[in-house]
Amino acid sequence: MNARLDYFASPTAGKIMKQFMAVGRALKDSPLPAETQELVALRVSQINGCAVCIDMHTKEAAAAGAAPVRLNLVAAWREATVFTEAERAALELAEEGTRVADAATGVSDAVWAKAAEHYDEEQLTALAVLVSFMNSVNRLNIITRQPAGDYEPGQFH
């Protein structure tokens, strides 16, 4: 598959992607644990079917220390015993924040309250921005058919 746009060749894309990358770096520096960030990014990307982001965040999660069994079970996190309660809360918030059109309610109060039991306000801020950011990046990559498979951990950070 060939990409419809080359983000690195277009001056317009270059300006825009520079800003996107700045958001990504700010999230990396947030107090939300790195492995949690990668699990959430991976789950959002799985839901949206963004192959390039699935490739990237699987590899980044492994580099952050995630065990292969955890990566293999992200899509079935509800039935898996390898995630902490905090990670489960983050993954549930990520799913509701990604599937807003399915429920037409956004993130429920119960899901937000569960996440707030495990994360402070700064971490919740990072989690909410991460879910929104990943949905945006997924859509950009899907629209432009960015190919997957060649990502190297740390390549964009």
CA R_g for the chain: 15
pLDDT at position 67 is 95
Name the DSSP class of 11.
Answer: H
- Tallying the residues shown for the chain, one arrives at 157
The CATH number covering residue 113 comes to: 1.20.1290.10
Closest CA to 1 of 45, 42, 49, 52: 52
Question: Which of the four pLDDT bands, split at 50, 70 and 90, describes residue 106?
Answer: confident
Of 13-22, 100-109, 120-129, where does the model show the most confidence? 120-129
154 is a domain residue: no
Q: How many domains does the chain have?
A: 1
**Between vectors from CA 32 to CA 134 and to CA 135, what angle results, nearest 5°?**
10
Q: Write out the residue range of the structural domain in which residue 112 sits.
A: 13-144
Stretch among 3-17, 21-35, 56-70, 88-102 having the lowest mean pLDDT = 3-17
CB half-sphere exposure, 101, CA atoms < 13 A: 3
